[in-house]
Amino acid sequence: MTSGTAAVTVFGSLHYDITVQSPARPRKGETVTGHSWRPKFGGKGRNQAVAAARVGVRTLMVGTVGDDQFGREMLADLDAHGIDRRFVRVAEGAGSGMSVAIFDAEGDYGAVIVSGANLTLSPADVAAASALWPETAVLVLQNEVPDEANLAAARAARQAGASVILNAAPARAMPDDLAPLVDVLVVNAIEAAAMCGVTEPASIEEAMAAARRLARDFPAAVVTAGSAGVAYAARSDELLIPARAVKVESTHGAGDEFVGHLAASLARGAPIQAALAAANDAAARLVATPEHLRR
């Protein structure tokens, strides 16, 4: 299940997802007849933790679920993937986070998220998990939980000597105190455009320009640009990782797969180019896998 003592800690969201297969996503005021639906486990935090654990790196999860059936099933899912969830809190009086994602015939999707218990994650959860910070090599954060919770987790991890990856998704304004605690920023083209105030990058060259701009505020920035590839910029280094040509079954979760594999590779001590290449390959494999065959 694990190798060595290096550990990835994911601090973030847990959602119970319902996925709907449809010929097209509805426009405003439109009802579309779908083909099928099924439940699955998600949340950026959960997905990234599962991706890291799949690599074989010891993976820990800090998050919250509701005191409901969805919550109980999500805890069992973490257990099934060998993820240490001692510090996943059951929030009394709050429903579990959930989402509904609608996939069209091309494999693209739109989703609605109800955060539920995830919004109760707080600095108190960081303090309660004090035993795990010395065990953490890489901390992974996302934007599906409150900013003050992310900030507290980043401080605790950095004080313990861990590196911090921030997947700034969904895009939103960032607390001024958080950026100095982040070692690697990871965003997709849409999020990069929102953070840089530019048009969404449509080529690898435009993705690199966005990564360079973000690297002014972070030690390193990664911009994933789908079929255009991946751009990495640091203050003393730049890398372009070409996309793998695959038949797209679904893009859902590709970013989380990338982040989880990147964190696991870095926790193992891989150089950044090898870690980015491994993450890019993992995301491509996921994109080429039909939704119903994914775990």
The model's pLDDT over 97-156, given as tens digits with 9 standing for 90+, comes to 999 989 899 878 888 889 999 999 999 999 999 999 999 999 999 999 999 999 999 999
291 pLDDT tier (thresholds 50, 70, 90): low
pLDDT score of 3: 42
In this prediction, residue 294 has a pLDDT band, given cuts at 50, 70 and 90, of: low
The residue among 101, 142, 119, 103 whose CA lies nearest residue 16 is 101
The answer on pLDDT for 1 being more than 60 is no
pLDDT digits (tens, 9 = 90+) for 137-149: 999 999 999 999 9
Q: What is the mean pLDDT of residues 239-243?
A: 91
Task: Tell me what pLDDT residue 159 has.
Answer: 97
What is the dotted CATH code of the domain comprising 7-13+44-94+118-182+244-293? 3.40.1190.20
Query: 38-52, 242-256, 268-282: which has the minimum mean pLDDT?
Result: 242-256
Residue 86 has pLDDT above 50, yes or no: yes
How much is the average pLDDT of 38-64?
96
In the predicted structure, residue 2 carries a pLDDT above the cut 70: no
pLDDT in tens, 156-204: 999 999 999 999 999 999 999 999 999 999 999 999 999 998 899 999 9
Catalytic residue among 17, 147, 256, 281: 256
Compute the half-sphere exposure of residue 153: CA atoms within 13 Å on the CB side of its CA. 31
Give residue 4's region: left, alpha or beta (phi > 0; psi -120 to 50).
Answer: left
At 4 the pLDDT is: 46
Tell me the mean pLDDT in the region 82-105: 94
**Above 80 in pLDDT, residue 289?**
no
Whether 256 is catalytic is yes
Q: Is the pTM of this model over 0.85?
A: yes
User: What pLDDT was estimated at residue 251?
Assistant: 66
d(CA 22, CA 121): 34
E strand intervals along 178-278: 184-188, 220-224, 230-234, 237-241
Ordered by start, the domain boundaries in the chain are 7-13+44-94+118-182+244-293
Burial class of 27 by CB neighbour count within 10 A (0 to 12, 13 to 18, 19+): exposed
